[in-house]
Amino acid sequence: MLALLLPSRCPVCRRTVPPRVGPCEDCAEAVPPPPALAPPAGVDACFSVCAYDGAGLALVAALKFRGERGVARWAAAKLAPAVLNVGLDVVTWVPTSDRRRRRRGVDQAELLARALGRVTAVPVRSLLDRHPGPPQEGRSAAQRRAGPRFDCAAAPARVVVVDDVVTTGASVRAAADAIRAAGAERVVVAALARTPPGRHTRW
């Protein structure tokens, strides 16, 4: 009855499936593992669920453009063991621009951060204020490395910073720099996807 009244769609193949969190079983098997890359500069560790490729593209789109909370909950459950293993004081996120949040009606990184906080029971706090400037999406690697700028008034010793995709690492590096300047000693990144070498984000 629930499936009839509240049908859900797989965020990857878009087929109607019984109510569930995350992709259908077939698509879950097709999700590419994250690339084996070193953490971005200034970051102690970087965890991600998948590569930004194949089915990973569809998962990012579902979170970023449709605000699908099922994807956030699925990704948070995947990230939780790694996050809990390092021991942290607070979960925060890399905020999107005000313009994009108004246009989409949601901040995708905040959705994922709050889902991660619920799964891990680690407090979630907004620590970062984003300076005005162009978004990272659609920019070249060289332009991305200039990165956005953030302010952070105060931070606890151990922080996990959540983002939807880590490409060059410029955004999370800038976020980590601001958080360390505000008092953090350890900064870990958790993301839905990480971009393999040679690929750039589509959005």
Structural domain spans, the chain: 33-194
Instruction: Write down the pLDDT at residue 103.
Output: 83
Q: Is the pLDDT of residue 2 over 90?
A: no
- Determine the CATH number of domain 33-194: 3.40.50
In which band, very low, low, confident or very high, does the pLDDT at 7 lie, cut at 50, 70 and 90?
low
Buried b (16+ CB within 10 A) or exposed e, 58-86: bbbbbbbeeebbbbbbbbbbbbbebbeee
Angle between helices 108-120 and 69-86 (to 10 degrees): 50
If you average pLDDT over residues 134-163, what whole number do you get?
77
Tell me the mean pLDDT in the region 16-23: 84
Residue reference for tokens 């109510």: 19
Q: What is the pLDDT of residue 20?
A: 77
CA 40/CA 46 separation, integer angstroms: 8
